[in-house]
Chains A and B, each alone.
Chain A
Amino acid sequence: EDQVTQSPEALRLQEGESSSLNCSYTVSGLRGLFWYRQDPGKGPEFLFTLYSAGEEKEKERLKATLTKKESFLHITAPKPEDSATYLCAVQEDSNYQLIWGAGTKLIIKP
């Protein structure tokens, strides 16, 4: 069964403490992997698309990487405003529908 698993479910960090979030997936053929950010009471906001193993994308303090089985979202020197739930989704070659993970809730304490 195709699935997307994110870990940890929640992560609490001190401001400035770097870490990584994981998204592992099992699909027959990957068309793309996507990272979104979701603030409380709001809809998800698109961050990155990754298409092939070895690819990396960066935006401010965030860097997303992709291997054949998982993706990491690295957060460097996070600030309280980086607190949010980060969602991962994948798209198979044969299907327009995205398969979403349950998300990682990130809390950055000042």
Chain B
Amino acid sequence: NAGVTQTPKFQVLKTGQSMTLQCAQDMNHNSMYWYRQDPGMGLRLIYYSASEGTTDKGEVPNGYNVSRLNKREFSLRLESAAPSQTSVYFCAGGRSYEQYFGPGTRLTVT
């Protein structure tokens, strides 16, 4: 059991470029989440998916889009990257009161 996997682990983008962060879980969770983590701040929810085919905005959704492709996969897309999106991105699965996190993607936008 891999739990929650994320790709890539590291990425450098130039301002205006686009990319998709991939996340997959093998724990059969209905709910999945995308967070960003910045120094000195708590994790902030970007988007949430309660089940396949449904997504909801979190605290900081601007500049991002998501796709819940199936029960296993939940992707995060940056259409036009900005330096303010430099962060570590975590995907998680599980119930709100017990979430299982992936290893993260460290994204730098120059």
Chain A residues with CB under 8 Å of chain B are 4, 31-32, 34, 41-46, 49, 87, 89, 91, 96-103
Contacts and interface: CB of A to CB of B under 8 A. Distances in A.
A98 B31 CA distance: 14
B97 A91 contact: yes
Contacts of A46: 98-100
Nearest to A32: B97
Contacts of A99: 42
A43 B48 contact: no
A45 B43 CA distance: 13
A102 to B, nearest CB: 5
B90 A101 contact: no
A43 B96 contact: no
B101 A44 contact: yes
Interface in B10-64: 40-45, 48, 58-59
Interface of B: 4, 40-45, 48, 58-59, 90, 92, 96-104
A42 B103 contact: yes
A69 to B, nearest CB: 18
Nearest to A46: B98
Contacts of B100: 46
A59 B108 CA distance: 37
A28 B59 CA distance: 18
Contacts of B102: 43
A102 B58 CA distance: 18
B37 to A, nearest CB: 9
A76 B100 CA distance: 26
Contacts of B44: 100
